[in-house]
Structure 1
Amino acid sequence: MAPKDTIAPVDQLSATLRSKTPSEQSSNPAGTPKKTANPIRRKLSRKTLLAINFGSVAAGLGAWTAFSAAGIVGLPGPVEVLVRGGELLADGTLAEDTGASLARVLSGFLIGSLLAIPVGFLMGWYQVGRAVIEPWVQFFRTIPPLALLPLVMVTMGIGETPKIFVIFLAAFLSCVISTYQGVVSVDKTLINAARVLGANSMTIFRRVVVPASSPFILVGMRIGLGAGWATVVAAELLAAPNGLGMRMQQAQIFYDMPTILVNVIVIGIFGLLMDRLLLMIEAHLTRWQERR
């Protein structure tokens, strides 16, 4: 029996189990031409994808300009919004609000994700842990974090703590469910193969379950990040001294549409950049996984 630490990681186990059996190999004799790939699902080059991205952005800006020129609901054009963004950036207002909102989102998101991962593993790996934790997770998951905002502010005050707490709750609930689903969805064949090779439960968890669950964890983090940005904007509408949400509320009072759109665009840009960063981390951690 192999020593417990010599078990192959999940990528090698998956590759071994995906290899063809002798009967499958004999069914495809040498010289038989392989089927050509479907051109619709052909993998595009990075330059092509970037060109499509820029084309999509250009089309969106063109549609925005057309709607603005048509005078639909008083929507300002891209040039007007760009000028207003330059003014807010020059007087330091945009940088201050962006920094405040970004600090709140990162604090709540990181705390929620770091706590959700071990809790999700505990729920998925131990049935007792699942029985204890899952009812509470499912209970709070059905309650929108914004519904708890008045209660949180009454109990915690109007400082930074309640704002970070509701962001933490939104990120935690998204990530813990995804992590739990990743653990329970691990292919049982991989676990059985590891046991045959002599691995104990801790080795299987560390070398098989954790790598196989990483795609689910990162998907949950991406969902939690989006929920964090949505929550911080609503949290800043109540007694916030600064922030993108607070600035949009002030602009709403004076019907300042360019300022509202500037803050909306900033949130979208930072959300997109942070999501792309998580995608890069996912691609690095799941290089062993087959992709379409």
Structure 2
Amino acid sequence: MAQKETRRVTLSATRAVLVRVAAVATLLAIWELLALAEFWPPAVLPGPGRVWEQLLAASDSGNGQGGYAGSTVVERLGVSLRRVGYGAGYGIVVGVLLGLAMGLVPLVRAVAEPFVTFLRALPPLAYLSLLVIWFGIDEEPKVYLLVVAAFPPVAVATAAAVTGVNRQYVEAAHALGASRLGVVGTVVLPASAPEILTGVRLAVGVAYSSVVAAETVNGADGIGGMVLNAQRYNQTAVVLLGLVVIGVTGLLIDTAILALQRAVSPWRGRA
């Protein structure tokens, strides 16, 4: 019985991978056909082959330009990922702590919830200028922008998860002699982990999608800076290359978070 279940899961996973590969191949084929048909000029819609050529050129540090404008794609991606890592990391920590406080203390929830909702409604570019005025044009405003963009989804998800924990579990832990802090560590957090990771998933996505906005300020060394520089010179293939790199790496990060979520809560979707 266990072997049949394992085989079924393996076949399902294989089928899912094949469907996704087929979807990507179809999208690339449509893109190539549109480029060959020249519905738009090549300067507006270059084909996948042209974007691939730009990837090879921008990855070659010995091409006379150091890749693209002094840095290779890998170097630029590393810079952007570092910013996203710091910004999303700090934002997740703040969001989890604030969400726990909101979920456990009604007064904190009443005070903080309007503030968190207000920040969630603001697009990152709306407060980027203010952060530049406060912190200058170095790394600080970029990281703070991603922190402010990342923590509201985590705070909301954590607060909702904490308030949704089964009260019987909490009461049972208290009855067994657990302290309030012990109940949070042994009951509330484990029970809330899947929803918290959903908030983390959203937060990382928001932070990564905001990295281009963050790099509009003295961020030419990042992948977003490459996109912005290419846009100024109408280098559409480079712009598309940057978008593809951001999208693919974002997909990989999201897949890793989903894998962590499945490991933390293997029962989800099977009950």
TM-score by length of 2: 0.85
CA deviation string 1:84-112 (max 9, x = no partner): 10000012421222121111111101111
Tell me, in whole angstroms, the C-alpha distance in 2 between the residues paired with 1:186 and 1:110.
25
Aligned to 2:24: 57
Contact 2:197 2:257 in 1 (8 A): yes
Aligned AA for 2:84? V
Aligned to 1:184: 163
Aligned to 2:230: 251
Aligned AA for 1:55? A
Aligned to 2:5: none
Tell me, in whole angstroms, the C-alpha distance in 2 between the residues paired with 1:228 and 1:125.
27
Secondary structure of the 2:206 match is helix
**Greater Rg by CA:** 1
Tell me, in whole angstroms, the C-alpha distance in 1 between the residues paired with 2:14 and 2:57.
35
Aligned AA for 2:185? R
Aligned to 1:276: 255
Query: In structure 1, which of residues 134, 143, 146 is the aligned counterpart of residue 125 of structure 2?
Result: 146
1:82 aligns with 2:49: no
Deviates more, 1:132-141 or 1:161-170: 132-141
The correspondence of residues 10-49 of structure 1 with structure 2, limited to 5 A, is 45-49=12-16
Deviates more, 1:264-273 or 1:93-102: 93-102
Aligned AA for 2:125? L
Sequence identity (%): 35
CA spacing shift, 1:165–1:248, aligned 2, 3 Å: same
Query: In structure 2, which of residues 206, 219, 227 is the aligned counterpart of residue 240 of structure 1?
Result: 219
Aligned AA for 1:149? L
Secondary structure of the 2:201 match is helix
The correspondence of residues 60-209 of structure 1 with structure 2, limited to 5 A, is 60-73=27-40, 74-91=44-61, 92=67, 93-194=72-173, 199=178, 201-209=180-188
Tell me, in whole angstroms, the C-alpha distance in 2 between the residues paired with 1:62 and 1:261.
16
Tell me, in whole angstroms, the C-alpha distance in 2 between the residues paired with 1:193 and 1:290.
26
Aligned AA for 2:153? S
Tell me, in whole angstroms, the C-alpha distance in 1 between the residues paired with 2:243 and 2:218.
20
Secondary structure of the 1:240 match is coil
Between the two proteins, the alignment pairs up a number of residues equal to 251
CA deviation string 1:212-264 (max 9, x = no partner): 21111111111111111121101212332311222112211221111111111
CA deviation string 1:198-220 (max 9, x = no partner): 65544432222211211111111
TM-score by length of 1: 0.79
Tell me, in whole angstroms, the C-alpha distance in 2 between the residues paired with 1:274 and 1:51.
20
1:218 aligns with 2:185: no
Give structure 2 stretches of 5+ with no counterpart. 1-7, 62-66
Q: What is the CA-CA distance between 1:139 and the residue it aligns to?
A: 2.7
Aligned AA for 1:264? L
Secondary structure of the 2:59 match is helix
State the structure with bigger RCO (CA 8 A, min sep 6), 1 or 2.
Answer: 1
Query: In structure 2, which of residues 232, 242, 265 is the aligned counterpart of residue 263 of structure 1?
Result: 242
